[in-house]
Chain A
Amino acid sequence: MKVYADNAATTKISDTALNAMMPCFKDVYGNPSSLHSVGQNAFHAVRDARAQIADILNCKSDEIYFTSGGSESDNWAIKGTAELMAKKGKKHIISTKFEHHAVLHTLKYLEKNGFEITLLDVYENGIIHIDDLKKAIREDTALVTVMFANNEIGTVQPIREIGAVCRERGVLFHTDAVQAVGHLPIDVQNDNIDMLSMSGHKFHGPKGIGALYCKNGIRLPNLIEGGAQERNRRAGTENVPAIVGMAAALKEAADNLSENTKKLCEIRDRVIDGLLKIPSSRVNGDRTARLPGNVSMCFEGVEGESLLLYLDMVGIQASSGSACTSGSLDPSHVLLSIGLPHEIAHGSLRLSFCEENTLEQADYIIEQVPPIIKRLRDMSPLWERLQKERGNA
């Protein structure tokens, strides 16, 4: 059986998105800036896509800026706000310990350039405490940036409450919603969001395309100087097929949101319950306030990379936050941020599902994982030691 369970890394493009894109390569190939009919067709395609996305997020069309993806949107929102607010003497930014590197590394860059950064604790369940945020906000706080849902452990933050606190205190609020858009209901007005980053390929759209929602009135500095695209703020001829594909994918995701959520929660919970039967296993992060398709677990005494490569051999594609999959020496900062010791964090496994996955696949995973864990534990001196310590051997 083949089971692609790494949808948090990227998704397969949907037929709907692909079919929407094809004419943009063949017929609607004009430059949206051209005044002739071929160009105007492309202009309309981009305009309609923008309106569709704005409608789903409940904002205005001119509040959507197309970018190359989530990382670019995060960089623009954070560096742009920093530049804007520094002029007002505000050089303090609040975020969380387990943001995506697109946010964390941007904050590190700003820290080197004179900003002060406060990273909120996310506790064992992977969710911030609103009181911590309230205490962290200062007179000179320029921005609060908190991810909507975590890419590794899938925990979902109380975004509306965070936004409300920011509104009350007069601080701008950005959220990296790359894992949430298309998977959770989002209404930027109701949720008190000033800026939001999204990425097309996380919800069956194409890669290399994303968007930044930026509330009107926030004058972010231009990201790319040049032509008049994206309200003069990000120059460059639009990637028309990708924009159209992303909008089509988002529309499909939004139309099927409740149905998909129900199905995914069922798959997710079955897999978690099934894999928790493995001794010395645990779920990472809150069990309920998490993305419908996210399973993140740790298995003691095994190393994540070996686990995921053996899983690949039986047709299951997953990911791990072990050091060995990141190319760095430490396990993922996300797993460490929720208090896991290094040796446990090394044994992590993330399975991320989409609506194409099935309960049969869930059962296949539940059947395939335990013997692989056993095989790895049987040859693991760490497991042997743990068993001795616990008097099991």
Chain B
Amino acid sequence: MLVYLIRRLGQSLLVIAVMATLVFVAMFAVGDPVDILASPDADQRERDAIAKRLGLDRPLWEQFGLFVWRALHGDLGRSFVYNVPAVDVILQRLPATLELALTGLVFSIAIGIPLGVLAGLKPYSRLGRGIMSGSILGFSLPNFWIGLMLILLFAVELRLLPAGGRGPVVSVLGIPTAAFSLEGLKHLILPALTLALYKSALVIRIAQAGTREVMLQDYIRFARAKGLSRQRIIFVHVLKNIMIPVVTVLGLELGSMIAFAVVTETVFAYPGMGKLLIDSINRLDRPVIVAYLMMTVVIFVIINLIVDLLYAAIDPRVRLAEAKG
């Protein structure tokens, strides 16, 4: 197990290193930051001075070495736009995105499990088929358009919920959050719902398949033979069984929810990391883009690592295969 752990850790570091190189190289193609920073009427001397200040005049390999060295010390450069460390800019936006992603996660379970179980109990009924067809739509419809239609319906026509932005932020246990006020929650509902649609389609699929499988098991038959009510069988015997795969998959999907927040945050003008990324791309704020990508890569690698290690801990077959290979 220790050998596997070390191997797996080494792979993770390799992935981060490869991604860091790719990100660094890619950033060189994203326009010249001097164009943004220098005033339009600046002459060549001023431009050179800016390039020198940013270290852009040095050879590529030297810049890369410097980038790696600083990155190892947690320094991914200063934002051109905000003139503060890029990591700080990201971290400042992180709570908003996490709040959104977690609320989305809760929504996707709240929508996905009941519908999935319902469809799994009656897979051949009109309702069951309808739910499954709906889940295909949830998978394939463009998320941002759904968000726009939600805005149109709830914010513009019905005037029930705000069209965008984040509610008033208060500090709870040192974490700035908007989830503890009515106004904050109101701002959270539509974006979280939009973000949750895709995942709830996924949860519906898993819950439906799980329910169908569990309902055929002998222990359900035995539970019925015990004289248990249908509610008890569904809410205890079935639900407890399907929660395991659902939670596993959603844990894996948390990373992709943070990434997908890029779209949702743009639609709802929600001040999170995703909106920051889009703004930074439009403003060519290189250090912030790099910091965002590096943080996302690290988050993904960590999530994958944890999941792999958990699997290996649970399933001895994985351990053996890896040890041999």
- Pairing of A with B: no
Q: Could you tell me which A residues sit within 8 Å of B by CB distance? A: none
Q: Could you tell me which B residues sit within 8 Å of A by CB distance? A: none
